[in-house]
Amino acid sequence: MSLSDIINIDECTFVAAGSLREVYTHPTDDSVLIKVVRADMVGPDGHPSQISRKGKRPWGVYLAFRREIDEYLIAARRQIATPRLKLPFARPIGLVPTTRGLGLLVERISDNGATVPTLQMLHKSGQLTPQHVAALRRFFSYCIRYHIVLGDVHLGNLVVDPTAPDKLICIDGFGEKTLIPVHRYSPWLNQRKLERKLARILKHAGLE
DSSP collapsed to 3 states, 16-46? EECCCEEEEECCCCCCEEEEEECHHHECCCC
Using the predicted structure, report yes or no on whether residue 84 has a pLDDT greater than 80: no
Q: How confident is the model at residue 3 (pLDDT cuts 50, 70, 90)?
A: low
pLDDT at 115: 86
* Total of domains in the chain: 1
Residue 163 lies in a domain: yes
Q: Could you tell me how many helices (H) and strands (E) the chain has, helices first? A: 5, 9
Residue 176 lies in a domain: yes
**Sign, Cα dihedral of 154, 159, 165, 168:** negative
pLDDT tens string 14-59: 999 888 899 999 999 999 999 999 988 888 788 877 765 556 778 8
Residue 3 lies in a domain: no
Using the predicted structure, report yes or no on whether residue 77 has a pLDDT greater than 80: yes
Residue 121 lies in a domain: yes
| Share of residues in the chain with pLDDT > 70 (%) | 95
The pTM of the full predicted model, rounded to 2 decimals, is 0.88
Is there a contact between 121 and 158 (Cβ–Cβ < 8 Å)? no
Nearest to 128 by CA among 160, 105, 96: 160
- The CA angle 99-174-202, to the nearest 5 degrees, is 125
pLDDT at 54: 53
pLDDT at 2: 66
Range of the structural domain that residue 127 is part of: 9-204
Average pLDDT of the segment spanning 53-67: 81
Angstrom distances, CA of residue 159 to CA of 12, 60, 96, 164, 170: 23, 29, 25, 11, 7
For the domain that residue 169 is a member of, what is the CATH number?
3.30.200.20
Using the predicted structure, report yes or no on whether residue 85 has a pLDDT greater than 80: no
Residue 1 lies in a domain: no
pLDDT tens string 141-186: 999 999 999 988 999 999 999 999 899 999 998 888 887 889 999 9
Residue 100 lies in a domain: yes
Average pLDDT of the segment spanning 67-85: 85
Residue 2 lies in a domain: no
